[in-house]
Amino acid sequence: MFNLKRKKQQTVDTIDYENIPQHIGIIMDGNGRWAKRRGLPRSAGHAAGAKTLDKITRCAEKLGVRYVTVYAFSTENWKRPKDEVDSLMKLMVDYLDDYKRVLGGDNIRIRIVGRRDELSEEIIRKIDIVENATKDNDKITLVIALNYGGREELVSAARKIAEAVKSGRIAPEDIDEKMISDNIYTSFMPDPDFIIRPSGELRLSNFLLWQSAYSEFWFSDICWPDFTEADLHRAVIDFQKRNRRFGGV
Rounded CA-CA distance 53/142 in Å is 10
CB of 53 to ligand FPP, least distance (A): 5
Kindly state whether residue 85 participates in binding ligand FPP, applying the rule CB under 6 A: no
Looking only at residues 148 through 207 of this chain, which bind ligand FPP when binding is defined by CB under 6 A? Answer: 199
Q: In the complex with ligand FPP, which residue's Cβ is closer, 16 or 97? A: 97
Given its phi and psi angles, is residue 94 left (phi above 0), alpha (psi -120 to 50 degrees) or beta?
alpha
Query: Binding ligand FPP by CB under 6 A: which of 91, 175, 179, 204?
Result: 91
Rounded CA-CA distance 222/228 in Å is 9
CB of 205 to ligand FPP, least distance (A): 9
Which position among 3, 13, 77, 176 bears the catalytic label? 77
Query: Binding ligand FPP by CB under 6 A: which of 46, 109, 111, 126?
Result: 46
Distance set, CA 89 to CA 40, 77, 120 (Å)? 19, 11, 9
Distance of CA 154 to the CA centre of its chain: 17
Kindly state whether residue 33 participates in binding ligand FPP, applying the rule CB under 6 A: yes
Rounded CA-CA distance 151/210 in Å is 9
Bridge-based pairing state of the strands 194-197 and 140-148 = unpaired
Half-sphere exposure of 162 (CA within 13 A, CB side): 6
Kindly state whether residue 123 participates in binding ligand FPP, applying the rule CB under 6 A: no
Pick the piece of the chain touching ligand FPP (CB under 6 A) from 9-17, 87-95, 207-215, 232-240: 87-95
Q: Would residue 243 show up in a list of annotated catalytic residues for this protein?
A: no
Kindly state whether residue 21 participates in binding ligand FPP, applying the rule CB under 6 A: no
CB of 45 to ligand FPP, least distance (A): 6
Distance set, CA 230 to CA 24, 53, 59, 165, 220 (Å)? 16, 14, 9, 49, 13
CB of 239 to ligand FPP, least distance (A): 22
Kindly state whether residue 130 participates in binding ligand FPP, applying the rule CB under 6 A: no
Helical axes 42-63 vs 82-97, angle rounded to 10°: 40
Kindly state whether residue 54 participates in binding ligand FPP, applying the rule CB under 6 A: no
Query: Binding ligand FPP by CB under 6 A: which of 49, 114, 149, 192?
Result: 49
Question: What is the total count of residues that contact ligand FPP (CB under 6 A)?
Answer: 19
Q: Would residue 77 show up in a list of annotated catalytic residues for this protein?
A: yes
| CB-count exposure of residue 186 (10 Å: 0-12, 13-18, 19+) | buried
Minimal CA–CA distance to 235: which of 20, 48, 8?
20
Neighbouring residues of 11: CB distance < 8 A, sequence distance ≥ 6: none
Kindly state whether residue 103 participates in binding ligand FPP, applying the rule CB under 6 A: no
Kindly state whether residue 29 participates in binding ligand FPP, applying the rule CB under 6 A: yes
Positions that interact with ligand FPP (CB under 6 A): 28-33, 42, 46, 49-50, 53, 72, 77, 88, 91-92, 95, 144, 199
Catalytic residues: 29, 77
